[in-house]
A and B are shown apart, each in its own frame.
Chain A
Amino acid sequence: MVKNHNEVLYKNEQIETQRLILRKFKISDTADILEYGSDAETLEHVGWPGLSTLEEAQAIIYDRYMARNGLWAIQITDTGKVIGLINLHLNHDHDKVALGYMINRQYWGMGYASEALKAVLYLCFEGLRVNRVEAEHYTGNPASGRVMEKVGMKREGVTAKSHLVKGVFRDVVLYGITWDDYFRPAVLDL
């Protein structure tokens, strides 16, 4: 990992892709946060218990979203709507990153998560120069695994009942991509 990882993250507070802008959360995002943060089906596959009022949505911006770098709102460029978030946790000891994301259910199946994830993987390997990026999803959410596979991550295992999520023991599916995977050409032209 580069030594100036915080500088790299601050300089990439805004990342643009074909259809999305990843950016810092703003106080004006509360209504959009409440929309996905209060939807039972959106929340079913994440550890976050969600929220039910605009005040809670505002509080989470101050308490969590603005509290650190490496956490982006996912905004659709055309409409300006915030449809989810993506975040990184750096692990300095092992030169790697864990990432997590969630998308408003109304916007599933349109490739937005893959598009955001691809941009963040690019930042991880080309900008932060980490050796590995990993992520996990709970069983019963194969769509999330397909997102990870589409961006080149590999399924590495399933740990039985390893997280207690909202009172239920869930199986966790592990995905990872290493520096070698990321930079190895898909087809070796020998």
Chain B
Amino acid sequence: MVKNYNEVLYKNERMTTERLVLRKFEEGDATDILEYASDAETIANLIWEGSTTIEEAKANIYDFYWSRNGIWAIRHAESGKVIGCIDLRLAHDDDKATFGYVLNRNYWGHGYMTEALKVVLRLCFEQLKLNRVEANHFDGNAASGRVMEKAGMTYEGTARQAEKVKGVFRDCVKYGIIRDDYLRQK
């Protein structure tokens, strides 16, 4: 990992792709956040409990979205709507990162998440110079696995009943991509 990783993250607070803008959350995003945060189906496969009021959605911005760098709102460029979030967590000891994401259910199946993940992976390997990026999804959310595969990640295993999510033990399906894979795929 580069030593100036914070500088790299701050300089990439805004990233654009073909159809999306990844940027910092703004206070005006609360309505869009509430739309995905209050949809049971959207958050069913997340540890996150979601939000049910505009006040909670605002609190999310202050308490989580602005709490550190490496958290991007996913904005649909054409409509201007914020349709989700992707966040990166660095693990310095192992020169790697993990990430999490959520996408408004109305925008599933259009390749938006893959598009956002690809640009984040590019940042991880080309600028942060990480050795590995990894993530889990829970059983029953195969679509998330397909997103990771389309972005070039490899299925590595399933840790059975490894996490308790909203009172239910879920299998953690593990994906990873190492630097060598990324450079080979380019």
Taking residues whose C-beta sits less than 8 angstroms from the other chain, chain B's interface range is: 20 to 34
The residue from A132, A159, A169, A180 contacting B156, defined by CB atoms under 8 A apart = A159
Q: How far is the CA of A160 from the CA of B39 in the complex (A)?
A: 35
Q: Does A106 belong to the interface (CB within 8 Å)?
A: no
Q: Given the complex, which residues of B lie within 8 Å of A176, measured CB to CB?
A: 159-162
Nearest neighbor of B165 in chain A, beta-carbon distance: A94
Taking residues whose C-beta sits less than 8 angstroms from the other chain, chain A's interface range is: 20 to 34
Nearest neighbor of A175 in chain B, beta-carbon distance: B159
Whether A161 contacts B178 in the complex (CB less than 8 A), given A95-B169, A131-B169, A169-B131, comes out as yes
The residue from A156, A162, A164 contacting B159, defined by CB atoms under 8 A apart = A156
Q: How far is the CA of A89 from the CA of B176 in the complex (A)?
A: 24
Q: How far is the CA of A134 from the CA of B162 in the complex (A)?
A: 8
User: How would residues 113 to 151 of chain A score, 1 for a CB under 8 Å from any chain B CB and 0 otherwise?
Assistant: 000000000000000000110100000000000000000
Q: Given the complex, which residues of B lie within 8 Å of A95, measured CB to CB?
A: 164, 169
Nearest neighbor of A181 in chain B, beta-carbon distance: B160
User: How would residues 160 to 174 of chain A score, 1 for a CB under 8 Å from any chain B CB and 0 otherwise?
Assistant: 111110000100001
Q: Does A157 belong to the interface (CB within 8 Å)?
A: yes
Q: Given the complex, which residues of B lie within 8 Å of A134, measured CB to CB?
A: 159, 162
Q: Does B7 belong to the interface (CB within 8 Å)?
A: no
Q: Does A158 belong to the interface (CB within 8 Å)?
A: yes
Q: Does A23 belong to the interface (CB within 8 Å)?
A: no
Q: Given the complex, which residues of B lie within 8 Å of A24, measured CB to CB?
A: none
Q: Given the complex, which residues of A lie within 8 Å of B156, measured CB to CB?
A: 157-160
Nearest neighbor of B177 in chain A, beta-carbon distance: A160
Q: Given the complex, which residues of A lie within 8 Å of B111, measured CB to CB?
A: none
The residue from B131, B132, B162, B176 contacting A96, defined by CB atoms under 8 A apart = B162
Of the A-B pairs whose beta carbons lie under 8 Å apart in the complex, a sample of 21, sorted by A's number, is A93-B164, A94-B169, A95-B164, A95-B169, A131-B169, A132-B162, A134-B162, A157-B158, A158-B157, A160-B132, A162-B94, A162-B132, A162-B134, A162-B176, A164-B93, A164-B95, A169-B94, A169-B95, A169-B131, A174-B159, A180-B161
Residues on B close to A: CB < 8 A?
Answer: 93-96, 131-132, 134, 154, 156-164, 169, 174, 176, 178
